[in-house]
Amino acid sequence: MNRSGPPSEMTPEDAAALLAFYVEAGVTDALGDEPVNRYALADEAARAAPASREPDAPRAIRADPRGDMAPPPAARVAAPAAIPLEDSQAAESARIVAARCKTLDELRQALAVFEGCPLRYTAKNLVFADGNPEARIMLVGEAPGRDEDLQGLPFVGRSGQLLDRMLAAIGLDRTSVYIANTLPWRPPGNRTPTPAEHAICMPFIERHIELMAPKVLLLLGGVSAKQLLHTDTGIMRLRGKWTAARIGERDIPALPTLHPAYLLRQPAQKRLAWRDLMALRAWLDTNPD
């Protein structure tokens, strides 16, 4: 692109690719062609609004016993909102339903008819899993995106294509791994899942891992790592460090790494993901069974 002159017109192919990127990213609003002076609008609204009452006089700052001027009390930080009762009941129902499943097929069928998670009503398809259920390695991501929702398979969009290339770099493909997500339904517009949605779906992914019984877990992204490792530590501190995920009665070796979608936004971080993949490859080579 010639930056010294006016921008060239986009080809239809470039426009379609850009639009597909926006859709996958969950963009729902567009800016207008004409600029809008938001400050002028705010001033007009202020002039039109009725006069507000005079602000309260500031409270005096009390002195402490030492004679120093004590600062006003610090603002209280609100505690995290509790999961509503109906969501807690849905999560308990999910635990009961998931525990009854004895095979992966039973689990898939149970999810297909489970009505406790509102995400199923906005998603087009259940995204259960892909790959080889007999594989030693299970990859767990966060939630389906647009392409995954349309096809009913995990990691088939742009991040999935990158994931395939990442696996190929260490001699793996979808016949040698098994892939699922912590959430089996796409959140509307690719929005961030709520704590209640995670709580409801958690029993299903845990039972999914139990039934698949992998030898090792590769946790793709911070959400997956935090959920399955029961931690609040960020992914940049977790990634590349072997740990264990307690699933049922087993402690499964687990390696957190960066999500492919993040790597698409931050290509420079691929070097970190490559180190993680090499660590996984080394583990597989030293644990052939």
152-177 pLDDT, tens digit per residue, is 999 999 999 999 999 999 999 999 99
**Which residues of the chain fall below pLDDT 70?**
1-10, 14-15, 17-85
| pLDDT reported for residue 148 | 97
* Helix or strand holding residue 38 (H, E): helix 38-48
| pLDDT reported for residue 114 | 97
Please count the other Cβ atoms lying within 10 Å of the Cβ belonging to residue 110: 16
Q: Is the dihedral of CA 261, 227, 170, 135 positive or negative?
A: negative
* CATH class held by domain 85-286: alpha beta
Q: Which two tokens stand for residue 163?
A: 């994931």
* Residue 283 CA, distance from chain mean position: 26
| pLDDT reported for residue 30 | 58
Q: From CA 271, how far away is CA 275, in angstroms rounded?
A: 6
Q: From CA 202, how far away is CA 196, in angstroms rounded?
A: 10
| pLDDT reported for residue 60 | 42
Q: Is the dihedral of CA 75, 196, 189, 131 positive or negative?
A: positive
| pLDDT reported for residue 156 | 96
Q: Which two tokens stand for residue 102?
A: 């004895």
| pLDDT reported for residue 87 | 81
| pLDDT reported for residue 203 | 98
